[in-house]
Chain A
């Protein structure tokens, strides 16, 4: 890994994988407790953090736990004791954490976790799709999906700022695709430590476990009182809709790097065919858009960067003057379709005039989705929708399955 220090300003230019970009963000965010359990393709995140801790570059408690279930409970304990906590996982590790994820959210602990999106078995598959994190979308965690390594680095730092705001106090998953981001080297700019310290002050807990002032957390709550706690979580998520772009704008202005926002658009202003997707597919699709425009189809792409809270209002605004929308999911909810398509549809159903929508399932289990694939999908969808047809959850690239 190359590190170039610009001595004048204290900025670093590093050339790192997405996983190491996460580790660098954890370091400069001065995380105090790291719970580590290895799982491919996440392992190099906690390995790099271990190196930082061993070298004395990060003053953190590094807990080697016996499972992901324990990794999350260690983070819950740490955050409840007032420490800034971090862990990372993927796929089956995330699935094993499931009940603890509920606990972290319900306890209103602003834990940040990197999830390297990986398919679930069987069959055993270490490559990317969003089935792991999409299965965790109903549990009160903010979900940010990244598209390059700078965004990965920036998102982790901003996630702490956002989550630790006392108006929010919810945990956050920063999601990056297996191998496409996790193991791919890209240049990343790292601001000076003193400036990060100034922007991201130490964590101030909303409540704390303290032996001198004992409380029991997570005690029995009868039906007469439980529902209000759930409403407060929903209210906090609603506040994220307002606060997340502000945190992003503040970060962007301060450092000139990628600020958090809900949606990134490319040539959407005059689009007649709007591609809606997530993650790296949302960047790759820019080439598709340019190619379609060369053919005379006014295309645009919108990349959904945050899935929880779901940016329904932003998607409604995008869709207002668009006659056709193509939604591409790297996810399948068996028996339904992809999560982005399903949720976009609930967001748009209140509009008087909706675009025709065609949705695809693509790239499951790490199958490559190039601009060519997206062009094929978009052209097919265009052909169908020109005839007034909208199709749901069309699988793209399954051998022997014709698109029709």
Chain B
């Protein structure tokens, strides 16, 4: 990005290029975190498809992996998972 020193350096309208974490690590906004139960997960990747933040990736075995640096904890993945494989856990609590 060009250096913004005076208003003449501004673009004509607000716009940004796609970049990872332009606003920092938004995972800190989270109250509940999704935790995947690997025994129940069938790797259908519906959670990966629905995640509005692209915070779910795919691991070497083809299963979903959550990037907690950017997951805001919206819970859409848990809501969409038809196998009950994603549990929303309050931050600070430990799952067994």
Cβ of A5 within 8 Å of any chain B Cβ, yes or no, is no
Cβ of A336 within 8 Å of any chain B Cβ, yes or no, is no
Q: Determine the distance from Cα of A221 to Cα of B12 in the docked complex, in whole angstroms.
A: 13
Q: Which residue of B lies closest to A107 (CB)?
A: B13
Give chain B residues whose Cβ lies under 8 Å from the Cβ of A206.
Answer: 12-13
Contact A108 B12 (CB under 8 A): yes
A217 to chain B: closest CB distance in Å? 5
Contact B17 A215 (CB under 8 A): yes
Q: Which residue of A lies closest to B23 (CB)?
A: A220
Contact A225 B4 (CB under 8 A): yes
Give chain A residues whose Cβ lies under 8 Å from the Cβ of B18.
Answer: 214-216
Cβ of B10 within 8 Å of any chain A Cβ, yes or no, is yes
Q: Determine the distance from Cα of A225 to Cα of B22 in the docked complex, in whole angstroms.
A: 15
A331 to chain B: closest CB distance in Å? 31
Cβ of A231 within 8 Å of any chain B Cβ, yes or no, is yes
Cβ of A228 within 8 Å of any chain B Cβ, yes or no, is yes
Q: Which residue of B lies closest to A109 (CB)?
A: B13
A264 to chain B: closest CB distance in Å? 32
Contact B7 A217 (CB under 8 A): no
Q: Which residue of B lies closest to A217 (CB)?
A: B15
Cβ of A218 within 8 Å of any chain B Cβ, yes or no, is yes
Contact A231 B7 (CB under 8 A): yes
Contact B10 A218 (CB under 8 A): no
Give chain A residues whose Cβ lies under 8 Å from the Cβ of B21.
Answer: none
B65 to chain A: closest CB distance in Å? 25
Give chain A residues whose Cβ lies under 8 Å from the Cβ of B14.
Answer: 106, 217-219, 221, 229
Contact B13 A217 (CB under 8 A): yes
Give chain B residues whose Cβ lies under 8 Å from the Cβ of A221.
Answer: 14
Give chain A residues whose Cβ lies under 8 Å from the Cβ of B17.
Answer: 214-216
Q: Determine the distance from Cα of A110 to Cα of B4 in the docked complex, in whole angstroms.
A: 25
Q: Which residue of B lies closest to A228 (CB)?
A: B7
Q: Determine the distance from Cα of A161 to Cα of B12 in the docked complex, in whole angstroms.
A: 18
Number of chain B residues whose Cβ lies closer than 8 Å to a Cβ of chain A: 13
A292 to chain B: closest CB distance in Å? 48
Cβ of B92 within 8 Å of any chain A Cβ, yes or no, is no
Give chain A residues whose Cβ lies under 8 Å from the Cβ of B12.
Answer: 108, 169, 206-207, 232
B23 to chain A: closest CB distance in Å? 7
Write the B12-30 contact mask toward A (1 if CB under 8 angstroms, else 0): 1111111000110000000
Give chain B residues whose Cβ lies under 8 Å from the Cβ of A169.
Answer: 12
Q: Determine the distance from Cα of A219 to Cα of B7 in the docked complex, in whole angstroms.
A: 18
Give chain B residues whose Cβ lies under 8 Å from the Cβ of A216.
Answer: 15-18
Q: Determine the distance from Cα of A232 to Cα of B23 in the docked complex, in whole angstroms.
A: 24
Give chain A residues whose Cβ lies under 8 Å from the Cβ of B22.
Answer: 219
Give chain B residues whose Cβ lies under 8 Å from the Cβ of A228.
Answer: 4, 7, 10
Q: Determine the distance from Cα of A106 to Cα of B11 in the docked complex, in whole angstroms.
A: 12
Q: Which residue of B lies closest to A235 (CB)?
A: B7
Give chain B residues whose Cβ lies under 8 Å from the Cβ of A219.
Answer: 14-16, 22
Give chain A residues whose Cβ lies under 8 Å from the Cβ of B7.
Answer: 228, 231-232
Give chain B residues whose Cβ lies under 8 Å from the Cβ of A107.
Answer: 13
Q: Determine the distance from Cα of A108 to Cα of B15 in the docked complex, in whole angstroms.
A: 12
Q: Which residue of A lies closest to B14 (CB)?
A: A221
Q: Which residue of A lies closest to B4 (CB)?
A: A225
Q: Which residue of B lies closest to A236 (CB)?
A: B12
A34 to chain B: closest CB distance in Å? 23
B-binding residues in A (CB < 8 A) = 106-108, 169, 206-207, 214-221, 225, 228-229, 231-232
A sample of 30 cross-chain residue pairs with beta-carbon separation below 8 angstroms, ordered by A number, consists of A106-B14, A108-B12, A169-B12, A206-B12, A207-B11, A207-B12, A207-B15, A214-B17, A214-B18, A215-B16, A215-B17, A215-B18, A216-B16, A216-B17, A216-B18, A217-B13, A218-B13, A218-B15, A219-B14, A219-B15, A219-B16, A219-B22, A225-B10, A228-B4, A228-B7, A228-B10, A229-B10, A229-B14, A231-B7, A232-B10
- The list of the 8 closest CB pairs from A to B, nearest first, reads A228-B7, A219-B16, A108-B13, A215-B15, A216-B16, A108-B12, A228-B10, A217-B15
